[in-house]
Amino acid sequence: MSSQIKFFEQVREFSEEAAKYLDAPKDVLKQILQNNTIIHIRFPIKKDDGTIQVIEAWRSQHSHHRLPCKGGIRFSHLADEDEVEALAALMSYKCAVVDVPFGGAKGAVKIDPKDFTENELERICRRLTYELFQRGFIGAEIDVPAPDVNTSGREMAWIADTYRTLSHDINSLACVTGKPRDHGGIAGRVEATGLGVAYGIQEILNTNSICKQYKIEPGVKAKTIAIQGFGNVGYHSAKFLSEMGAKVVAIGEYEGIITNPEGIDIDALAEHRKQSGSIKHFSGAEFSEDREAILYFEADILIPAALESQITSENYDKVKAKIIAEAANGPLTADATKKLFKKGYLIIPDIYLNAGGVTVSYFEWVKNISHIRFGRIDKRFEKSNFNNLVSLFTESTGAKVSHDLINKFSKDGDESALVASGLEETMITSFHQIKTILEEHDFKIDLKTAAYISALRKIVSSYKYAGIFP
């Protein structure tokens, strides 16, 4: 990212553009566009060799229109206050777009996790939890972190365990989401963001009015895809889109880009990287060290799933893919978005497309505070109802239904199936709310502005019913 581009300024520019279309008091909109609170923390930890290192961290709460606040914690040596504030704001808008009743938050620890042992990372997580607890910045009803860049269920388990010890709260497991399943997590959380990306792209490309407006052939099947980033989001986006019939022909990572016009075997690549630590030397594709080439690769869909501000006013005219699906947070700057929209590109916005993670985090949070797993109460009841319906049909018509077919359609409502179903419904419903706004404006605004309008309308409504303005 260019040092001249401030991430939070970019988010503010998108939200200010959308705010022009809202009938709401300017002072209220001004308040919504600002971050409510940010804390900057420094604390020492003892390394395995006995030396002391001071760790720097931030936690920002962008909006308290809904509680708790919600947002991930990332470990990155590039983290700074501007990035944390921008990501917190995006979380507020993201939650609103998909009707998840949280305010936005975000956290970061300024470290490169590769420089620390597992024991040292555990000490960092536990001390960070203590610091947040002391300041009232964590709790099921206050602020709920989740995994982000370079963090996972492991770190969330450490945080949850430390919080439980400090708080003695019966809802302590709900203080974070993205936990391992055997520690209060939920099936489907790991793949949720990538699956949401796939569902979102599929629904948009199945919508005739969008395809007609942007002169796109409908459907995901046979579309060629280039993906920047092969982390959790990039991998799962590639996996699920491939299963839907798309063809992933190029993948870029920090070490370079691999390409195969016949399509890359995603699971084989994932296994290769697991074994070797790199996408280099993968036998199923050609490798080039030109990592920026992924942004300009000739494909139907480009999915930036890495860092912010990758496509700017300086390089937007090199992008060949006519559909850009923002799986990362803020991969296009405001200027680039405007210029590409004028050229007829379809840009699927981050605050909609990568909201799968927070959607399933919401399901996990509800599971934790209700103290019962999804499907436990009703799955046998639903299966029994289905079998009764089949029996009634066969008895009244004389038709025969094979046992294999019955088994296929009467699977137990296990948690992973329920989560995937809820996520798909969320992505479909949220998109059609955005599409309605596009239609209100005769498609003269881009999809990103429409998504921000959708988010801001809902946040303004929350302020109104809270009695903040008449």
| Contact indicator for 62, 36 with CB cutoff of 8 Å | yes
| Contact indicator for 354, 329 with CB cutoff of 8 Å | yes
How far is Cα 7 from Cα 308, in angstroms, rounded to an integer? 8
How confident is the model at residue 23, as a pLDDT? 83
Return the axis-axis angle of helices 192-205 and 415-440, rounded to nearest 10°.
40
Residue 303 DSSP label: E
How far is Cα 460 from Cα 106, in angstroms, rounded to an integer? 21
What are the tokens at 300?
Answer: 């139907």
The per-residue b/e assignment along 38-75, b for 16 or more CB within 10 angstroms, e otherwise, is: bbebeeebeeeeeeeeebebbbbbbbbbbbbbbbbbbb
Find the length of the chain.
Answer: 470
How confident is the model at residue 31, as a pLDDT? 83
| Contact indicator for 308, 337 with CB cutoff of 8 Å | no
How confident is the model at residue 400, as a pLDDT? 57
| Contact indicator for 88, 58 with CB cutoff of 8 Å | no
In DSSP terms, which residues pair with 257 in a beta bridge?
A: 252, 288
Q: Which of 434, 425, 428 is nearest to 349 (CA)?
A: 434
DSSP string, 198-254: HHHHHHHHT-HHHHHHTT--SSSTT-EEEEE--SHHHHHHHHHHHHTT-EEEEEEET
How confident is the model at residue 195, as a pLDDT? 95
The per-residue b/e assignment along 221-252, b for 16 or more CB within 10 angstroms, e otherwise, is: eebbbbbbbbebbbbbbbbbbbebebbbbbbb
What are the tokens at 337?
Answer: 């978005």
| Contact indicator for 286, 264 with CB cutoff of 8 Å | no
DSSP string, 21-75: T--S-HHHHHHHHS--EEEEEEEEEE-TTS-EEEEEEEEEE---SSSSEE--EEE
Q: Which of 381, 368, 322 is nearest to 348 (CA)?
A: 322
How confident is the model at residue 192, as a pLDDT? 93
Show the domains of the chain with their CATH numbers: 37-183 (3.40.50.10860), 186-375+420-470 (3.40.50.720), 380-413 (no CATH)
For residue 390, what are the CA distances in angstroms to 321, 380, 395, 402, 403? 48, 15, 9, 11, 11
Residue 319 DSSP label: -
Residue 4 DSSP label: T
For residue 373, what are the CA distances in angstroms to 314, 367, 370? 49, 6, 8
| Contact indicator for 163, 89 with CB cutoff of 8 Å | no
Q: Annotated catalytic sites, by residue?
A: 106
How confident is the model at residue 3, as a pLDDT? 47
Strands (E) in 310-393, as ranges, are: 323-325, 346-348
Mean pLDDT by 10 residues, the chain (470 residues): 72 91 82 90 96 97 92 95 95 95 96 96 98 96 95 97 94 95 90 95 95 94 95 95 96 94 95 92 91 95 93 95 96 95 96 94 92 63 54 55 52 72 93 96 95 94 64
How far is Cα 258 from Cα 273, in angstroms, rounded to an integer? 12
What are the tokens at 72?
Answer: 């991930």
Q: What global pTM score does this model have? A: 0.87
For residue 189, what are the CA distances in angstroms to 129, 325, 359, 361, 452? 22, 21, 9, 7, 25
Which residues, including other chains, have CB under 8 Å from residue 233's CB and lie 6 or more apart?
193, 194, 197, 305, 327, 328, 354
How confident is the model at residue 399, as a pLDDT? 55
